[in-house]
A = this chain, B = another copy of it.
Amino acid sequence: MNVAPGVDDATQAAVLAAIRFDAAGLVPAIAQQHDTGEVLMMAWMNAESLRESLATGRVCYFSRSRNALWRKGETSGQIQRLQELRVDCDGDTLLLLVDQTGVACHTGRRSCFFRAAVPGGLAEIAAPLVAPDVLYGGAPDR
């Protein structure tokens, strides 16, 4: 389904009840571009960020480094619209089907997974589409 802004409280509660947050109150969330299937990034959510994402239709994570809600794209404009939320068999991982505006990665690349194992080590398989300082003006978006 499309998760329109304004998923009702009962739905939010039912979804949250199915999720097994870890000891820190977090659950990993994989973001995948809904139409191309590209895996963009993985980040963490707590109950509050998940509830906000469902309520607003804009993806909000929890930043472990800042210990605070991380409204994806708040600084950079590179937001993620939530198209569908899936929960795995164990309830301990989320798959977010999103519509990514611009780039997901703070390096300016579409996906955070831009390094691939090749003989000898890792190789970059994607170049930045936009310079990080253009995205942030110095303030990292997470």
Interface on A for B, CB 8 Å cutoff? Answer: 1, 3, 7-8, 10-11, 14-15, 18, 28, 30, 32, 36-39, 41-42, 54, 84-90, 93, 95, 105-107, 109, 112-122, 125
Contacts and interface: CB of A to CB of B under 8 A. Distances in A.
Contact of A1 (B14, B84, B93, B117): B117
A112 B88 contact: yes
Contacts of A37: 32, 36-38
Copies of this protein, total: 2
A120 B42 contact: no
4 pairs of A and B residues whose beta carbons are closest in the complex: A37-B37, A14-B121, A86-B113, A88-B112
A121 B18 contact: yes
A96 B30 CA distance: 13
A122 to B, nearest CB: 5
Given A30-B39, A39-B30, A89 B117 contact: no
Given A3-B117, A11-B117, A36-B37, 13 more contacts: A7-B117, A8-B119, A10-B121, A11-B121, A14-B120, A30-B42, A39-B95, A42-B42, A42-B88, A87-B113, A87-B116, A89-B115, A90-B112
